[in-house]
Amino acid sequence: MRIAIRFETDIVPYQNATAGPFHPDSYSLKRAALAQNRILTFKLIISAFPDGGMIPDLHSCEGADLAPGLEWLGQPAEAKSFTLIVDDPDAPNGTWNHWLLYDIRCSLHTLAQGHKPGSVGVSGTNDFGREGYGGPCPPKGHGPHRYFFKLHALDVPSLGLVRGARRAEIDRALEGHVLAEARYMGRYERK
C-alpha cells in the first residue's frame, strides 16, 4: 500500500492590528496565510481544546457526549472527498474507534459540534456498536488516553461503502486513495 501523507497541526500565527487577535475560522486562516505569502498545508482545527490538550467533559461519556466541531483547510486541490477517523490507541484491548465518517463532500470544510449521523457524509459503526460519534470513555483509573482525530483527503468522491461500515472495511477502501492526512490529538482521563 502506497500512501502519500502530509500533516500539520499548527495554526498559522496571525494578528490583524485592526481586527484584533486571530480567530480560528477558515476565512481568517486563509487570509492570514495569503497575507504572509505562506503555502497552506492540510490542517485540522478543533476549537474546543488545544492540540495535545485535555478534551472537555462535554465531549465525553461523562458529559453530553457531543462531537466537537471540526474545521479544516489547505487540502490538496485534487481532493474529491474526506474521511474522518477518531480512535484511541491506548484502549486496554487495542485501538478503539470512536468515530468513523466517510464520503464527506470536498466542498465542506466544517463539521458542527454535535454532528449526528446522516447529516453529513456516511457514518460507519464505531466500537461502541453504533453509528456516529462516541466520546472518550476510558476505564476509570486507567490513566489519560490519547484520542487522534484523523482527516484524510481522498482522490475519489466515494469509498463505495454502505452505511455502517467497520474500521477494517474503511481501511481497505482507503488504500491507494489518500492524498493527505491532517491530525489533531486530545487527551482524556476518567478518575
DSSP one-letter string for 169-186: HHHHHHTTTEEEEEEEEE
> Mean of the pLDDT values across residues 125-142?
96
CB 59 within 8 A of CB 68: yes
Residues whose CB is less than 8 angstroms from the CB of residue 187 and which lie 6 or more positions away in sequence, other chains included: 52, 53, 54, 55, 144, 145, 146, 147
DSSP conformational letter for 112: -
Kindly report the CATH number assigned to the domain that includes residue 128: 3.90.280.10
The amino acid at residue 165 is: A
Q: What is the largest CA-CA distance in the chain?
A: 52
Q: How many domains does the chain have?
A: 1
Return the pLDDT at 191. Answer: 78
Return the pLDDT at 40. Answer: 55
Closest CA to 113 of 56, 166, 157, 179: 56
**pLDDT tens for residues 63-72?**
999 999 999 9
155 — pLDDT class (breaks 50, 70, 90)? very high
- Residues 114 and 133: their CA atoms lie apart, in Å, by 9
* Predicted structure pTM score: 0.80
pLDDT at 2 over 90: no
pLDDT at 80 over 60: yes
C-alpha 30, offset from chain centre: 19
10 located within any domain: no
Return the pLDDT at 58. Answer: 97
- SS3 category, 20: strand
158 lies in which domain range? 15-188
7 located within any domain: no
Average pLDDT, the chain: 85
141 located within any domain: yes
For residue 43, list its beta bridge partners.
Answer: 8, 73
**pLDDT tens for residues 116-126?**
998 999 999 99
**pLDDT tens for residues 4-45?**
444 444 333 323 333 333 334 444 444 444 444 444 589 999
Q: How many CB atoms neighbour CB 106 within 10 A?
A: 16
**pLDDT tens for residues 83-114?**
999 999 999 999 999 999 999 999 999 999 99
> Mean of the pLDDT values across residues 73-79?
95
> Mean of the pLDDT values across residues 55-60?
98
150 located within any domain: yes
- Residues 7 and 47: their CA atoms lie apart, in Å, by 18
